[in-house]
Amino acid sequence: DIQMTQSPSFLSATVGDRVTINCKASQNINKYLNWYQQKLGEAPKRLIYNTNSLQTGIPSRFSGSGSGTDYTLTISSLQPEDVATYFCLQHNSGPLTFGSGTKLEIK
């Protein structure tokens, strides 16, 4: 199975900051990497699919990049409503596997 290593586990940032979250796969996942946001008590929401495609309705401050084994979610200007847990998911091969999550808070 492909292992996904996500970092950091916890992130505290100021409104307006540029924030990056990383996922590293144990092998090449050919850009089949999605990013999700989960707020407390809510269903996970897909932000980015296939590395860099923005889900309809998601603000453009969210973006994704990467290739091979290394992928990044960037929030260009952090907003208060972005407080949530973020996780990655690979769907390239084998069972779906997930990053362990990044809890993002506002300083």
Partner 1 sequence: EVQLVESGGGLVQPGRSLKLSCLASGFTFSNYGMNWIRQAPGKGLEWVASISSSSSYIYYADTVKGRFTISRDNAKNTLYLQMTSLRSEDTALYYCARLAYWGQGVMVTVSS
Q: Is 58 helix (H, G, I), strand (E, B) or coil?
A: coil
Q: Which of 24, 61, 91, 103 binds partner 1 (CB under 8 A)?
A: 91
* Beta-ladder partners of 11: 104
Select from 15-23, 58-66, 68-76, 90-98 the region that touches partner 1 (CB under 8 A).
90-98
- State how far Cα 59 lies from the chain centre: 14
Residue 87 is a binding residue for partner 1 (CB under 8 A): yes
Residue 52 is a binding residue for partner 1 (CB under 8 A): no
Residue 80 is a binding residue for partner 1 (CB under 8 A): no
| Tokens found for residue 17 | 């900051």
From CA 83, how far away is CA 8, in angstroms rounded?
A: 15
From CA 41, how far away is CA 100, in angstroms rounded?
A: 18
Residue labelled with tokens 């998911």: 89
Q: Which of 14, 16, 40, 42 binds partner 1 (CB under 8 A)?
A: 42
Q: Which of 52, 61, 101, 106 binds partner 1 (CB under 8 A)?
A: 101
Residue 71 is a binding residue for partner 1 (CB under 8 A): no
Closest alpha carbon to 22 in 62, 82, 71: 71
Interface ranges with partner 1 (CB under 8 A): 34, 36, 41-46, 49, 55, 87, 89, 91, 95-98, 100-101
